[in-house]
Structure 1
Amino acid sequence: MAGITKAISVKQPWAELICLGIKDVENRTWKTKFRGRVFIHAPMHPDKTSKLSKEREEATAHIEEFHFKNSAIIGEATIVDCVQNHKSIWADKGEGIWHWVLKDTVFYNKPIENVKGRLGIWNINLEELKQNGE
């Protein structure tokens, strides 16, 4: 956790699937040149339109229980690449979709709660969060 200063907000259930090492790409409509470690933030509102395809359901069948924390930093990952047309079952297909390739994910047993997210890749100061009681 030390040294990480960037974060991305990813709606649930996708945020948890990333942190558990199941979802290996994050789908965005814009590419990023950023490579490195980021906190995974689950915003207040989940993705109510999310549906799992049969292939994706099979990939998550072994999970006994989801935690689905919101307004919290629930883990971390490393962005190692940004490509189009990734072969992952989690890569949404379509014009203009970029796949941020993620590795070395960590799911926090105790998330950092009451954190407001932002758009894009954003800066975060953990010391400030601790001082504000968040």
Structure 2
Amino acid sequence: MKAITIHQPWASLIALGEKQFETRSWATKYCGPLAIHAAKKLDKEICMEEPFRSVLAEHGYTEDNLPTGAVVAICQLGECHEVMADFGNYALIAKDRFYIGTQEYHFGNYESGRYAWELLSVKPIDAVPAKGQQGLWNWGGERDDD
């Protein structure tokens, strides 16, 4: 299965169903099953800002108890949309010409020219320790406890 490594708290926001798009500087043509891997890197400062703090708190998380270095969710990677315009509190996504606003906008980087990867049918899983990698990588579902 393909996997992508995402820093915390963004990986957990996806697993919790609070973030439906992953924004990247690069596009992908891949569509299909995707494992969400929480990197060992954790942005503690952003965890204390709104809306991150309150959304994480609703689910019982703080910067101190987010899983790291583990696969935390499985989903389907849908379409990859180019960001056409960023208006400061919402963005226009190209192909289907729809807007990303409110909380979703704050959980991504929607600068023009970036890409919004649509994450569908997200299912959180118990954290499975694994080493992450850059880009899309292959995960076999195995634990990596070293």
- State the distance in 2 between where 1:48 and 1:78 align: 28
Give the Cα separation in 1 of the matches to 2:37 and 2:3. 7
RMSD value, Cα: 2.6
Q: Secondary structure at the match of 2:58?
A: coil
- Per-residue CA deviations over 1:65-122 (Å, capped at 9, x if unaligned) read 12410000011111111112332332432132110011111111x2102x11001111
The aligned amino acid for 1:46 is: L
Equivalent residue number for residue 111 of structure 1: 127
TM-score when scaled to structure 2?
A: 0.72
1:76 aligns with 2:92: no
CA apart distance, 1:46: 1.3
Bigger strand share: 2
Give the equivalent residue in structure 2 for 1:36. 32
How many Å separate the matches in 1 of 2:57 and 2:45? 22
Q: Any gaps of 5 or more consecutive residues in structure 1?
A: none
Gaps in structure 2 of 5+ consecutive residues: 84-91, 94-98
Structure 1 residue 52, shift from structure 2 partner: 8.1
Please name the residue that 2:88 is paired with. Answer: none
User: Matched residue pairs, number?
Assistant: 124
Tell me, what secondary structure is at the counterpart of 1:17?
helix
